[in-house]
Amino acid sequence: MNLSAEAPISNVVREWLQELSAARARPAEKRFRKEGSRILHIYDGQEKERIPFNILYSNTETLLPALYNSTPRSVVQRRFKDEDPLGRLAALAGRRALDYCMDTNSEDYATFDSVVEDAVLDALLPGRGVTRVRYDAEMAAGVVTSESVCYESIRWNRVIFGYARKWRNVPWLAFEYDVTRAEAEQLFGKAVVAKLTFVAPSQQDSSDKDDDEEGRSRSGDDTREERKLAKVYEIWDKRDRKVKFVSPGHPSGLLKTDNDPLGLTGFFPVPRPLTFLPKSNDLDVTALYTLYENQAKELNRITIRINRVVEALKVRGAYDGTLGDEIEKILTKDDNALVKADNVAALQEGGLVKAIWLMPLAELQAVLQQLILARQQCKQVIYEITGISDILRGQSVASETATAQEIKNQWGTLRLKKAQRTVQLYVRDLLRMTLEIAATKLSVETWAKMTGLPFTTQEQKAQATAQAQMAVSMGQQPPPQVAQTLQQPTWEDVLAVLRDDTQRQYRIDIETNSTVDLEATEDQKQMSEMFAAIGGFLQGVTPLVQSGSLPFEAAQSMLLTMVRRYRFGVDIEEQIKQMRPPQPPDAKAQQAEQQAQQMELQMKQMDMQARQQELQQEGQLKEREHAMKLEELQAKAEYNKLMARIKMMEAEQKMRLLQAQAMMPAVPAAPAAPPQKAKAR
């Protein structure tokens, strides 16, 4: 590491820089960083000439959505499902707080989905994913104006761990940052930054450079602006529960020291790193790609040969030069085109078949088929190693039966479920850490705004108590709002359960829907079976106990023996023991009951008789109405007949009159008087 030669180095800085360098120089850690950078180059497609078939990208893009594809739902509940009102309210507040922290709807913080996807991707490629949980607060004039619990994705090679074989025994971990002068002044102050050395990334010592960035710099693809930065290590020392900031550009002492800023149970602000190749008594990381790298190389060799064979599969050959350019013109013409032939005699003698000699391609076709078959077999070997069956990849063969596909799916998902369970536990640990930080760091006002629950504060409850005492002293009843405030729990009581590690762990269980769905399904099945068994048992035993054929104690012992076989039988065992045998019925009470039954029977008979009479009366009334309707219809029919006869008689009279008029003789007309002549005067 590049240390300033002008300022003397302190013992604390020297020890930490040596420990950091030794941790990175461990053979397993050094191999992990080197292999991780190389695997990322392959995944990013930076070696496409050497790796034409990127099986790493294909497998990763298949596994990534299969392992994490949706935002989990937080499940905070009472651990033992018993009567615990305060625990129920604490679980409700914790669930709402987690729902808010997972999706703050703020662009200033990374979303929960993005950080988990980054961790899963790092675990699939280099082999280790790390997510940090932070407490962020904005202050003005020494007063907190806003605060929240947020997440940060830590680059896979920007975190260094102290050596240990178990996660709980890791002594320290360090986060590596490159900070600008403005960021350093905000973190450490101007006085400390004045002694801090800032250098350009190209001038940093090679041992401090990011492996991936160094590789890109060598390849000439580094376009990052050459601005001066300072390398800072944020060291979380679990041995004294302090956070120390060390920089090789500030050798005179520590930049800053904080006393356990989060107060977490496990101290570290990260859960156990996400890995998919767990080892017993070993935290060293192995990338998944190394398991099938030899097969991937073979796959690329076969693909390169296939490409070369395909390149060689061209229609090439020679033709008789005495024919002139006719052959070449024929090969270059489009469909339905004719070429004028000059040497007709030569063509008539042998034709085009004997004048053209094409290069044989049958051998190349056979080689190509064998190479394609070999590549398919190589892919199957890779899928067997990784556990990615063709069903998971959305592929199937038409000749396979449904049973064969079901078997493939069952055993393929069996290996996948193990990796899914690892991701689920990693998410659960993140949520538990989030709630622990929120309970210890966030204020009551923030909790009230974040959850929207109507709990009161101790100050409000004290005011309500004073108002109630004043009302009682005046001989009045306290107002309903005051009484309601006194009955509600306070935020301090609810947060006391979440802030106390022992109470939170004993009374509250923090899970995700993915980790409890299987258990909930099994619980429902067991409860259904137990209730069905109890119902059937009581239905069959109750008559025997009532008749005295079976002693009550024997039936009770049989019921206890049966319910103890179920998971929830222990919860109702005491209630079953408190059951008492049924009392024999009293003679007078039995006689009174019989009389009541007889009276009830007589009342029913009387009701039936009255109902029958009503039905008879209704029937008679309907018969009368029917008869009246028939009479009315008959009268209408008679009236219609009479009117028709009258009309017929009128028609007959008119006909007779017309006939009589036709038979009478005609009377001659009187002659006209002759005209008179006028008298002469």
> What confidence tens digit (pLDDT) does each residue in 499-508 have?
887 878 777 7
192 and 231 part of one domain: yes
650 inside domain: no
484 inside domain: no
On the question of pLDDT at 401 being above 90, the answer is no
- 3-state SS of the chain: helix, strand, coil percent to 5? 60, 10, 30
Please answer whether residues 207 and 24 qualify as being in contact, where contact means their C-beta atoms are separated by less than 8 angstroms: yes
pLDDT of residue 33: 94
Q: Which structural domain range is residue 331 located in?
A: 293-395
Q: Which of 241, 263, 285 is the last residue of a domain?
A: 263
443 inside domain: no
Give the span between the Cα atoms of 242 and 258, in whole angstroms.
6
pLDDT of residue 283: 87
Please answer whether residues 55 and 491 qualify as being in contact, where contact means their C-beta atoms are separated by less than 8 angstroms: no
Number of domains in the chain: 3
Q: Which of 577, 607, 627 is the last residue of a domain?
A: 577
pLDDT of residue 398: 57
On the question of pLDDT at 348 being above 60, the answer is yes
Q: What is the chain's mean pLDDT, rounded?
A: 82
Query: pLDDT band at residue 222, thresholds of 50, 70 and 90?
Result: very low
Which of 194-198, 246-250, 286-290, 668-672 shows the lowest mean pLDDT across its residues?
668-672
On the question of pLDDT at 681 being above 60, the answer is no
| DSSP letter assigned to residue 650 | H
On the question of pLDDT at 238 being above 60, the answer is yes
In the structure, how many helices (H) and strands (E) does the chain have?
22, 11
Query: pLDDT band at residue 174, thresholds of 50, 70 and 90?
Result: very high
Q: Could you please report the per-residue DSSP string of 349-396?
A: HHHHHHHEEEPP-HHHHHHHHHHHHHHHHHHHHHHHHHT--TTTTT--
Length of the chain: 681
Distances (CA, A) of 385 to 4, 382, 573: 50, 5, 50
Give the span between the Cα atoms of 582 and 409, in whole angstroms.
56
User: pLDDT tens-digit profile of 516-527?
Assistant: 455 566 667 777
139 inside domain: no
User: pLDDT tens-digit profile of 587-606?
Assistant: 566 677 778 888 888 888 88
User: pLDDT tens-digit profile of 45-74?
Assistant: 888 888 999 999 999 998 898 888 888 888
Query: pLDDT band at residue 430, thresholds of 50, 70 and 90?
Result: very high
Please answer whether residues 624 and 632 qualify as being in contact, where contact means their C-beta atoms are separated by less than 8 angstroms: no
Q: Could you please report the per-residue DSSP string of 457-473?
A: PHHHHHHHHHHHHHHHH
CA distance from start to end of the chain: 176
Which residue in 299, 454, 289, 419 sits closest to 371, CA to CA?
Answer: 299
Give the span between the Cα atoms of 88 and 105, in whole angstroms.
27
Give the span between the Cα atoms of 147 and 446, in whole angstroms.
7
| Segment 358-385 mean pLDDT | 90
Distances (CA, A) of 433 to 101, 131, 268, 275, 336: 12, 11, 10, 19, 77
236 and 305 part of one domain: no
pLDDT of residue 297: 93
308 and 235 part of one domain: no
| Segment 473-483 mean pLDDT | 79
Amino acid in the structure at residue 483: A
**At residue 511, what are phi and psi to the nearest 5 degrees?**
-140, -175
348 inside domain: yes
663 inside domain: no
On the question of pLDDT at 515 being above 60, the answer is no
387 inside domain: yes
529 and 572 part of one domain: yes
Which of the residue ranges 104-118, 233-247, 572-586 has the most confident prediction, judged by mean pLDDT? Answer: 233-247
pLDDT of residue 28: 92
Amino acid in the structure at residue 211: D
Give the span between the Cα atoms of 358 and 516, in whole angstroms.
69
* Look-up of token digits 């009309």: 647
209 and 343 part of one domain: no
Amino acid in the structure at residue 553: E
305 and 364 part of one domain: yes
pLDDT of residue 475: 77
Q: Which of 395, 425, 454 is the last residue of a domain?
A: 395
Query: What is the pTM for the complete model shown?
Result: 0.71
On the question of pLDDT at 228 being above 90, the answer is no
